[in-house]
Amino acid sequence: MPEFLGSLLRRPPVGWWDLLDIAIVSLVIYEFLKLIRGTRAVQMAAGSLLIVALFYVSRLAPLQTVNWLIRNILVYVAFAAIVIFQGDIRRALAHFGQAPFFRYFNRQEAADETIEEVVVAATMLASQKVGAIFAIEREIGLRNYIESGIPLDATLTYDLLVTIFQPKSPLHDGAVILQESRVAAAACFLPLTVNPRLSRDLGTRHRAAIGLTEESDAAAVVVSEETGQISLALNGEIERPLSADALRDRLRRLVTVRRGRARTVYET
Choose between 235 and 68: higher pLDDT: 235
Whether 110 has a pLDDT exceeding 80, the answer reads: no
Of 211, 208, 236, the residue nearest 223 (C-alpha):
208
Instruction: Give the integer Cα–Cα distance in Å for 256 and 37.
Output: 36
Rg value, the chain, Cα: 27
Mean pLDDT estimate for the chain: 79
**Widest CA span of the chain, in angstroms?**
88
Q: Render pLDDT for 88-98 as a digit per residue (tens, 0 to 9).
A: 666 666 655 55
Give the pLDDT band (50/70/90) at residue 261: very low
Give the pLDDT band (50/70/90) at residue 265: very low
pLDDT of amino acid 231: 94
Whether 134 has a pLDDT exceeding 90, the answer reads: yes
pLDDT of amino acid 232: 94
Q: Render pLDDT for 42-58 as a digit per residue (tens, 0 to 9).
A: 667 777 778 778 878 87
Q: Render pLDDT for 170-221 as a digit per residue (tens, 0 to 9).
A: 898 889 999 888 999 999 999 998 888 888 778 889 999 999 999 998 999 9
pLDDT of amino acid 176: 95
Contact between 165 and 132 (Cβ < 8 Å): yes
| Helix runs in the chain, H state only | 2-9, 16-36, 41-60, 64-84, 86-97, 100-128, 143-146, 158-164, 204-215, 244-252
Q: Is the peptide bond before 241 cis (omega within 30 degrees of 0)?
A: yes
Give me the percent of the chain exceeding a pLDDT of 90. 31
Contact between 219 and 255 (Cβ < 8 Å): no
Residues whose CB falls within 8 Å of the CB of residue 256, separated by 6 or more in sequence, listed in order: 263, 264, 265
Beta bridge partners of 186: 150
Q: Structural domains in the chain?
A: 2-97 (no CATH), 106-264 (3.40.1700.10)
Sheet containing 150-155, strands listed edge to edge, beginning at the edge strand earlier in sequence: 150-155, 182-188, 175-179, 132-136, 219-223, 230-234, 237-239
Least confident of 87-91, 162-166, 190-194, 252-256: 87-91
